[in-house]
Amino acid sequence: MKAVLRAFAWLALAASLVLPLSVHAADKVALTEGTVKRIDAASNRIMLAHGPIENLFMPPMTMMFNVKDAAMLKKVKDGDKVLFRAEDDVKGGYVIVSIQVVK
């Protein structure tokens, strides 16, 4: 019985050391590469040609996204290479929650 409890204790210790690393790594994986194709500031939308969006299980394509904050559109221009995070919007679409130009 002591051997089983000792094994569980080691397993719990190992999991507590690895779990924070895997959660942090997931944040980096959630960023997607893309290219700005068009900005529609009037409707707070941006068209991106993007690679696979892992957190949404979406294949590469070109599509329009809503943006969470209109100020994000002032940081990018047509042709910029970007890293972004998109999430499911409660309204049924997809929304860009962060975007940064890749230099």
For 14-53, the pLDDT digits (tens) are 555 555 544 444 455 579 999 999 999 999 999 999 999 9
**What pLDDT does 47 receive?**
98
Residue ranges making up the domain that contains 20: 1-30
Q: How confident is the model at residue 92 (pLDDT cuts 50, 70, 90)?
A: confident
Q: How far apart are CA 103 and CA 87, in angstroms?
A: 24
41 in the same domain as 26: no
Q: What is the mean pLDDT of the chain?
A: 84
56 in the same domain as 9: no
Instruction: Show Cβ contacts of residue 79 under 8 Å, excluding neighbours closer than 6 positions.
Output: 35, 36
Instruction: Show Cβ contacts of residue 78 under 8 Å, excluding neighbours closer than 6 positions.
Output: 36, 37, 38, 39
48 in the same domain as 4: no
- Predicted TM-score of the model (pTM): 0.71
**Within 13 Å of residue 43, how many CA atoms lie on the same side as its CB?**
10
Q: How many domains does the chain have?
A: 2
How much of the chain, in percent, has pLDDT values that exceed 70?
Answer: 72
**Residue scoring higher pLDDT (15 or 59):** 59
52 in the same domain as 19: no
Could you report the per-residue pLDDT of 63-77, keeping only the tens digit for each? 999 999 999 999 999
